[in-house]
Structure 1
Amino acid sequence: MAGTTVADGGLVERAFTAAAAELGVAPGSAEHAEQLAHVRATMGESKITVFRHLYGDEDRARRANTAFEQAYGALVDGGRIAPVPGAREAIEQLAADGRTVVLTTGFARATQDAVLDALGWRDLVPLTLCPADAGGRGRPFPDMVLEAFVRTKAADGVRQVAVVGDTSYDVLSGVRAGAGLVAGVRTGAHGDAEFRAAGATHVLDSVASLPALLAGAG
């Protein structure tokens, strides 16, 4: 969602800084800079997985994750997010074309719901998924893509699934799931080189271009 359909203006990094401070990592320190670089490189991955990598033991990782989710939720509640231009219209057009849209995220369910509420998107799509909804494994694992395929029953085979995201982890999850179309979008964390390296079939300026791409693909 963030970076693909939702423009959050860098709130992930701001929330991470708050979470790191909770663990005693001072903003502006060398340790903070090193950790922030890892956060940027792993955008799209489940946040608890990122914190497990950074802080090692489970208790510290969960403390950091809780602090992150609280900080991000507060920023969202403060009106700091907006749809990517054309994103809602694209989702509505896909639905009008008879396609089923599922929104996925690396955030926890509470944060995902806060984003949906802030945008007024609760009823926009029939299904939203976070890592916990797919057995706990987020991107780059294929679980959320496959969970969407199984739950919606909207396709006869996984090759009929299209996966779109702003990070290499989004792309990799789609490739691993066997999706027929896997596109990176230039509105978020990663760019063309990362998308192609991860196996993207397409790179788009924005998710707003998706309905036309799918219509052209038949």
Structure 2
Amino acid sequence: MSRIKLVVLDMAGTTVADGGLVEQAFGAAAEHLGVEPGSADHAEKLDYVRATMGESKISVFRHLFGDETRAQQANTAFEEAYGSLVDAGHIAPVPGAREAVERLRGDGRRTVLTTGFARVTQDAILAALGWQDLVELTLCPADAGGRGRPYPDMVLAALLRTGAADGVREIAVAGDTSYDMLSGVRSGASVVAGVLTGAHGADRLTSHGATHILRSVEELPDLLAREGR
């Protein structure tokens, strides 16, 4: 088995506990576009948001609202609402996440944080947690061509930008959503770990390609060490 030299970690739900802020921010965005809270339309759209957790948010809004103008309006409203919740102190690290990242780095593994949010929101989260210097590279969909998950682009961009590994089999990916799993599988990563601290449960993570299921990202360093990776 290849030694893991590059670890690509999702943020919200995996290393960052946001307590359902995505759904709250979506509610603000939907209302901004005239979707009535409590309506069948609202419920249907919220179900789609839940099903596609981890995907680039602008892609989600393009699906939900059709034309590009409305999608951009929804995305702007979402990012503003989420940013306000972050500024109000409604996020925290997943317990043990920072320590896990520090241990991964101490084990000689390069580590990258990725998100489906826009750069402005990702930076706000990093600043709120004091994580600006925790890893050498952070990526949002726009940094890797704009498609985001479930495409493998951010994982492959992490490989190309860090030069940390000789090939994709030396990559581990961890996340809490089915789209995180698909992104890892499609990138060719040999470890695709689903964590149970976020949006999706073990069955869904496994059905979308998880090679391992962990209670938390805190367990990832031990997993890699135990498997001699």
TM-score by length of 2: 0.95
**Pairwise CA RMSD:** 0.5
| 1:51-200 pair list within 5 angstroms | 51-200=61-210
Residue 21 (structure 1) shift: 0.5
Q: What is the distance in 2 between the residues matched to 1:201 and 1:139? A: 18
What secondary structure is seen at the aligned counterpart in 2 of 1:162? strand
* Percent identity (aligned): 74
Residue 29 (structure 1) shift: 1.1
Residue 217 (structure 1) shift: 2.2
Aligned pair count reads 218
Q: 1:18 aligns with which of 22, 28, 31?
A: 28
Residue 28 (structure 1) shift: 1.0
Amino acid in structure 2 at the alignment position of 1:99 = R
Residue 216 (structure 1) shift: 1.5
How big is each residue's C-alpha offset from its partner over 1:24-55, in whole Å with a ceiling of 9 and x where there is no partner? 00111111111000000000000000000000
Higher relative contact order (CA 8 A, sep 6+): 2
Amino acid in structure 2 at the alignment position of 1:188 = G
Q: What is the distance in 2 between the residues matched to 1:74 and 1:217? A: 42
What secondary structure is seen at the aligned counterpart in 2 of 1:187? coil
What secondary structure is seen at the aligned counterpart in 1 of 2:64? helix
Q: What is the distance in 1 between the residues matched to 2:164 and 2:72? A: 35
Amino acid in structure 1 at the alignment position of 2:157 = E
Q: What is the distance in 2 between the residues matched to 1:137 and 1:102? A: 18
What secondary structure is seen at the aligned counterpart in 1 of 2:90? coil
Structure 1: segments with no counterpart, 5+ residues:
none
What secondary structure is seen at the aligned counterpart in 1 of 2:194? strand
User: Are 1:209 and 2:219 matched, yes or no?
Assistant: yes
Deviates most, 110-119 or 188-197: 188-197
Q: What is the distance in 1 between the residues matched to 2:52 and 2:94? A: 21
Amino acid in structure 2 at the alignment position of 1:69 = E
Q: What is the distance in 2 between the residues matched to 1:194 and 1:150? A: 29
What secondary structure is seen at the aligned counterpart in 1 of 2:110? coil
What secondary structure is seen at the aligned counterpart in 1 of 2:173? strand
Partner of 2:48: 38
What secondary structure is seen at the aligned counterpart in 2 of 1:182? strand
Amino acid in structure 2 at the alignment position of 1:125 = V
Q: What is the distance in 1 between the residues matched to 2:55 and 2:78? A: 14
Amino acid in structure 2 at the alignment position of 1:128 = T
Structure 2: segments with no counterpart, 5+ residues:
1-10
Residue 17 (structure 1) shift: 0.2
